């Protein structure tokens, strides 16, 4: 009986050891479901939303980051600068794309909600005035003429009303909605007050619709981010702007050098400080400021100087 008892105890021990081993194997298999990236970061998600102007940059960076880091998902939305800040302030996203600096009311709302953030410039942009390729009369346009066209009380609907030697051609206007930072910046720079603009123009949430509208109408004029012009420059023409020192065309040199006045600007990402505690978010932002900055020319924008990116890298560290 004692020998049988010993045998049973011995078998029980073997079974328990075997079960323990199986548990460890199962745990290992379970852990395999959480993929690790090539940089050693566990799988996770980075949520980005905001400016349609910054969208091409963030999409390009996200695509390359995900290629380098299998198992990580970066979602990039485009609800406009204002819409992105609303989500950011509500704590719904990690990063807000913005084509203008955060406003005082947005700062106050973020503070109220306990949202701390870092503002990071990522590129230069020049808001571009576009016309149809068949427009052979307008070689440039002054800031005063732009104000005359876009002022809240403007009744201008013909090119001849803008300049006497321009033809009797119907003027059709296209531009982004008030949800866009480009809209805010343009109205401030041209009309002297943010959101001050005539309401009878063709409004779109999508810059590609602005492109198509101007492309399809000989008398059209519109405004959008430089990258969207560069992507479609074979089908559009950019008007040089005269702010008082002669016409200046938007180019990489004039925008970065500050000569393209008053429509050259920086574009930004805003990073939730709490989100930076997550390795996946921190690594994505670091990638954005290093490898990502090399992608900026490919989507039509102008990169900052390396010292600017290095300064932002120190901030997030």
Residue 14 clears pLDDT 80, i.e. is over it: no
State the number of CA atoms in the 13 A half-sphere of 275 facing the CB. 26
CA 124, CA 139: separation in Å to the nearest integer?
A: 24
* H helix runs in the chain, sequence order: 2-32, 55-68, 80-89, 104-112, 143-150, 159-162, 181-191, 207-215, 226-231, 252-256, 279-289, 306-316
CA 1, CA 167: separation in Å to the nearest integer?
A: 115
**DSSP helix/strand/coil, 309:** helix
Residue-wise pLDDT tens digits, 204-262: 989 999 999 999 999 999 999 999 999 999 999 999 999 999 999 999 999 999 899 99
The residues, ordered by sequence, that sit 6+ positions from 219 with a Cβ below 8 Å of its Cβ are 132, 135, 159, 169, 170, 171, 172
pLDDT-above-90 percentage for the chain: 84
Residue 16 clears pLDDT 90, i.e. is over it: no
Are 127 and 225 in contact, with CB atoms under 8 Å apart?
yes
Q: What is the predicted pLDDT for the residue at 43? A: 72
Are 129 and 264 in contact, with CB atoms under 8 Å apart?
no
Q: What is the predicted pLDDT for the residue at 41? A: 54
Q: What is the predicted pLDDT for the residue at 40? A: 52
Residue-wise pLDDT tens digits, 106-127: 999 999 999 999 999 999 999 9
Average pLDDT, the chain: 89
Q: State how far Cα 96 lies from the chain centre.
A: 8
């Amino acid at each position: 009986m004692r020998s049988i008892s010993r045998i049973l105890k011995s078998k029980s021990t073997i079974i328990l050891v075997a079960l323990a081993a199986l548990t460890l194997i199962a745990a290992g298999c379970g852990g395999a479901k959480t993929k690790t990236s090539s940089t050693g970061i566990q799988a996770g998600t980075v949520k980005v939303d905001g400016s349609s102007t910054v969208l091409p940059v963030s999409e390009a960076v996200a695509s390359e980051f995900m290629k380098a880091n299998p198992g990580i998902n970066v979602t990039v939305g485009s609800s406009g600068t204002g819409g992105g800040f609303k989500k950011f302030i509500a704590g719904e996203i990690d990063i807000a794309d913005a084509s203008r600096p955060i406003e005082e009311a947005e700062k106050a709302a973020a503070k109220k909600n306990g949202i701390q953030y870092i503002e990071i410039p990522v590129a230069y942009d020049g808001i571009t005035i576009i016309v149809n390729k068949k427009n052979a009369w307008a070689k440039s346009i002054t800031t005063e003429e732009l104000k005359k066209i876009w002022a809240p009380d403007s009744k201008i609907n013909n090119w001849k009303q803008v300049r006497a030697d321009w033809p009797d051609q119907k003027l059709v206007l296209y531009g982004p909605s008030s949800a866009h930072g480009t809209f805010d910046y343009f109205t401030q720079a041209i009309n002297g007050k943010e959101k001050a603009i005539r309401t009878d123009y063709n409004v779109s949430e999508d810059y590609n619709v602005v492109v198509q509208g101007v492309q399809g109408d000989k008398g059209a004029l519109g405004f959008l981010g430089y990258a969207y012009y560069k992507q479609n420059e074979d089908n559009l023409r950019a008007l040089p702007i005269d702010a008082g020192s002669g016409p200046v065309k938007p180019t990489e040199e004039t925008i970065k050098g500050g000569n393209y006045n008053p429509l050259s600007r920086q574009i930004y990402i805003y990073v939730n400080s709490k989100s930076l505690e997550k390795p996946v978010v921190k690594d994505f932002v670091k990638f954005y400021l290093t490898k990502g900055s090399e992608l900026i020319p490919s989507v039509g924008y102008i990169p900052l100087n390396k010292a600017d990116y290095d300064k932002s890298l120190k901030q997030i560290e």
